[in-house]
């Protein structure tokens, strides 16, 4: 492999890394809220017990003010649901076992700051074509308990609505899923009229600090084959890239599945998701419509929610019933992988250059990491950190032979650097002759010029897979290791003038420099050494703001490579056999 090809190859690798890590979408500016969207108001003091059951005659289609809404609570070991009489939906959900930050005082609250309730109902205005939320009074029907509640309300045309919410009824992999609830919405029209199509909301998540570019804040829709993603960029003005892809911000964004219904629709952020899934084919009907809307939150932030409508088949009395499941919880791989209908897709594994998927290797690595952690749970609070270290060791054991091949090839190419350079100088005016002589040198000395490149190409998907997986690995969230407070965030130990000082990326750069310094270079060319030096400087800069889990993996990997290089440094020298030039006859 001559210098030109080598430089070209290294340039391509550097460019690929730059595109992969540095071309993320910029944080979306916050657009002004439309006049029709009122600013979110704080919830009143929540009642600890369900309100007194109201008689059915009190039901009315008149909208209820937020201040006049009543609240009812359903609770389990993992979730605390606060339902509202204003529309008969879920005002918010507290995830009782998921802390909001490293202080571990407050818990994660789903749908906080959203004026629209989760699983809220909406109907389409036949004149304007716009969705209008159902905000009428809903009352509790007899038979309510701490884990099941039935609410009843009405529409302006006399349509009656009965909604059932129940905890502990959703199963995944033959076990009860604690972060899911069952729901049922029955639309009973007036006599002789068909039931109106109603839409249900996915609710909204707050953006996370680690996802400043809003890469994972999105609405997802899945039909069993294709996954449709809608992000905040749709609702933000963009000038595009030199005019390409320029667009105006949309007020709402429609997604339709006509040929076949959607299996589920979800709203999520970096670590959590809310997934609305009809329970069976009868509830899904023949088609699905989805309307994605931005949500104005506090401090200029924005979220996303979706309203989805499944056209289920009417019953004999012309009523329609949507029975389904509502998952609201962390995007833990083992948990969402056990959910039916491919809900594991909410993990949103990013793609290299926008189209090269690492989903399969991400799932494999996360499954192995989960298994390793299961073996190390006894180690206590640092178990996830030790799991990453042990996973790194396992990967090194698997790739040890590949690294050995790479090192041997580098040593061999280093010994042949002088003969190859002599051939290039001798035949610099005859490229064809130069290539023939180089191939003769390779053949007589059993040199494979690509032997040093293949192991790197095999190991790169592992790095990219871990990089992709660790961005959304909620299992690592708020878990500490050594001085690291949160493995899912950078390991900032202090700040200097507002600039965070992260230790692991610095250690990673130093160990990478030492590893490359110990590794034999295939050429004495100073330009190649410069490129390797640039790589040792580029990687820490790229990885500086990334999760500590990734830089921990890279640092331990570099230390193991240094150990391997030291153990194999005394291998026998390679004898150079110069190519024999045949004498011309006569």
What would the pLDDT profile of 521-543 be if each residue is shown by its tens digit?
A: 655 455 556 766 777 778 888 88
What would the pLDDT profile of 151-187 be if each residue is shown by its tens digit?
A: 999 988 888 999 999 998 898 878 899 999 999 999 9
Please count the other Cβ atoms lying within 10 Å of the Cβ belonging to residue 577: 12
Please tell me whether residues 291 and 387 are part of one structural domain: no
| Token pair recorded at residue 430 | 């005859």
Please tell me whether residues 123 and 65 are part of one structural domain: yes
The whole-model pTM stands at 0.79
- 496, 502 Cβ separation under 8 angstroms: no
Please tell me whether residues 149 and 283 are part of one structural domain: yes
Measure the CA–CA gap between 65 and 420, rounded to whole angstroms.
Answer: 83
Q: What is the CATH number of the domain that holds 163?
A: 2.70.98.90
Q: What's the domain count of the chain?
A: 2
- 423, 438 Cβ separation under 8 angstroms: yes
**How confident is the model at residue 425, as a pLDDT?**
75
Question: Is 236 among the domain residues?
Answer: yes
Please tell me whether residues 302 and 395 are part of one structural domain: no
Please tell me whether residues 214 and 336 are part of one structural domain: yes
Helix orientation angle between 548-567 and 383-415, rounded to the nearest 10 degrees: 40
Which whole-number Å values give the CA distances from 413 to 9, 220, 326, 429, 473, in the listed order? 17, 50, 60, 24, 41
Question: Residue 558: which domain range?
Answer: 363-567
Please tell me whether residues 384 and 279 are part of one structural domain: no
**How confident is the model at residue 76, as a pLDDT?**
92
Please tell me whether residues 339 and 420 are part of one structural domain: no
The residues that bridge with 110 in the sheet, in sequence order, are 93
CA angle 337, 104, 508 (to 5 degrees): 70
Question: Is 406 among the domain residues?
Answer: yes
Please tell me whether residues 299 and 404 are part of one structural domain: no
Please count the other Cβ atoms lying within 10 Å of the Cβ belonging to residue 129: 7
Question: Is 212 among the domain residues?
Answer: yes
**How confident is the model at residue 456, as a pLDDT?**
64
Question: Is 509 among the domain residues?
Answer: yes
Rama region for 383: left / alpha / beta (φ>0; ψ in -120 to 50; rest): alpha
Please tell me whether residues 307 and 410 are part of one structural domain: no
Question: Is 117 among the domain residues?
Answer: yes
| Residues lower than pLDDT 70 in the chain | 1-60, 240-243, 245, 350-356, 409-418, 444-458, 519-529, 531-532, 569-586
Q: What is the DSSP string of 496-516?
A: ETTEEEEHHHHHHHHHHHHHH
For the chain, the average pLDDT equals 79
The residues that bridge with 27 in the sheet, in sequence order, are none
Beta strand pairing call for 272-278 and 320-330: antiparallel
**How confident is the model at residue 142, as a pLDDT?**
87
Measure the CA–CA gap between 23 and 101, rounded to whole angstroms.
Answer: 28
The residues that bridge with 502 in the sheet, in sequence order, are 492
Question: Is 408 among the domain residues?
Answer: yes
Please tell me whether residues 461 and 415 are part of one structural domain: yes
Question: Is 144 among the domain residues?
Answer: yes
Q: Which residues contact 389 (CB under 8 A, 6 or more apart)?
A: 552, 556
74 burial level (CB within 10 Å; 0-12, 13-18, 19+):
buried
User: How does DSSP classify residue 87?
Assistant: T
Measure the CA–CA gap between 491 and 547, rounded to whole angstroms.
Answer: 8
Please tell me whether residues 333 and 388 are part of one structural domain: no
Question: Is 150 among the domain residues?
Answer: yes
Please tell me whether residues 371 and 343 are part of one structural domain: no
């Amino acid at each position: 492999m001559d210098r030109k090809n080598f430089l070209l190859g290294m340039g391509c690798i550097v460019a690929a890394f730059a595109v992969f890590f540095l071309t993320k979408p910029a944080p979306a500016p916050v657009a002004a809220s439309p006049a029709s969207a009122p600013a979110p108001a704080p919830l009143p003091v929540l009642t600890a017990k369900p309100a007194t059951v109201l008689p059915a005659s009190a039901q009315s289609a008149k909208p209820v003010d937020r201040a006049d809404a009543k609240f009812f609570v359903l609770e389990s070991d993992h979730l605390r649901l606060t339902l509202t009489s204003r529309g008969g939906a879920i005002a918010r959900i507290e995830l009782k076992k998921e802390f909001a930050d490293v202080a571990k005082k407050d818990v994660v609250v789903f749908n906080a700051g959203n004026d629209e309730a989760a699983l809220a109902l909406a109907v389409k205005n036949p004149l304007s074509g716009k969705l209008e939320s159902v905000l009428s009074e809903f009352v509790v029907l007899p038979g309510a308990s701490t884990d099941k509640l039935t609410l009843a309300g009405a529409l302006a045309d006399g349509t009656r609505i009965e909604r059932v919410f129940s905890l502990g009824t959703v199963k995944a992999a033959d076990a009860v899923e604690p972060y899911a609830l069952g729901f049922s919405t029955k639309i009973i029209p007036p006599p002789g009229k068909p039931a109106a199509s109603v839409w249900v909301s996915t609710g909204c998540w707050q953006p996370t600090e680690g996802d400043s570019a809003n890469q994972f804040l999105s609405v997802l829709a899945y039909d069993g084959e294709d996954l449709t993603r809608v992000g905040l960029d749709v609702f933000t003005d963009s000038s595009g890239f030199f005019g390409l892809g320029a667009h105006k911000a949309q007020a709402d964004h429609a997604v339709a599945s006509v040929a076949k219904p959607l299996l589920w629709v979800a709203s999520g952020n970096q670590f959590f998701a809310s997934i609305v899934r009809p329970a069976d084919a009868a509830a899904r009907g023949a088609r699905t419509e989805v309307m994605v809307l931005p949500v104005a939150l506090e401090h200029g932030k924005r979220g996303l929610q979706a309203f989805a409508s499944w056209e289920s088949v009417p019953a004999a009395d012309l009523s329609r019933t949507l029975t389904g499941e509502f998952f609201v919880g962390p995007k833990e791989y083992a948990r969402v992988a056990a959910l039916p209908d491919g809900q594991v897709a909410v993990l949103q594994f990013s793609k290299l250059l926008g189209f090269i998927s690492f989903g399969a290797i991400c799932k494999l690595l996360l499954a192995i990491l989960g298994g390793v952690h299961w073996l190390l749970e006894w180690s206590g609070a640092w178990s996830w950190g030790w799991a990453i270290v042990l996973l790194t060791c396992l990967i090194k054991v698997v790739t040890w032979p590949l690294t050995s091949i790479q090192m041997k090839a580098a040593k061999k190419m280093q010994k042949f650097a002088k003969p190859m350079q002599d051939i290039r100088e001798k035949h610099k005016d005859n490229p064809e002759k130069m290539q023939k002589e180089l191939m003769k040198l390779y053949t007589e000395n059993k040199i494979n010029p690509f032997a040093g490149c293949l192991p790197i190409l095999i190991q790169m998907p592992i790095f990219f897979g871990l990089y992709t997986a660790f961005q959304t690995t909620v299992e690592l969230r708020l878990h500490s290791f050594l001085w690291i407070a949160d493995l899912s965030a950078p390991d900032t130990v202090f700040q200097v003038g507002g600039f965070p000082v992260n230790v692991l990326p610095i250690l990673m750069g130093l160990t990478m420099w030492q590893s490359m310094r110990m590794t034999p270079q295939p050429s004495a060319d100073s330009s190649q050494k410069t490129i390797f030096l640039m790589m040792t400087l580029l990687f820490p800069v790229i990885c500086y703001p990334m999760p500590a889990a990734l830089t921990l993996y890279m640092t331990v990997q570099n230390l193991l490579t240094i150990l391997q290089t030291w153990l194999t440094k005394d291998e026998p020298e390679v004898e150079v056999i110069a190519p024999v030039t045949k004498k011309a006859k006569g």
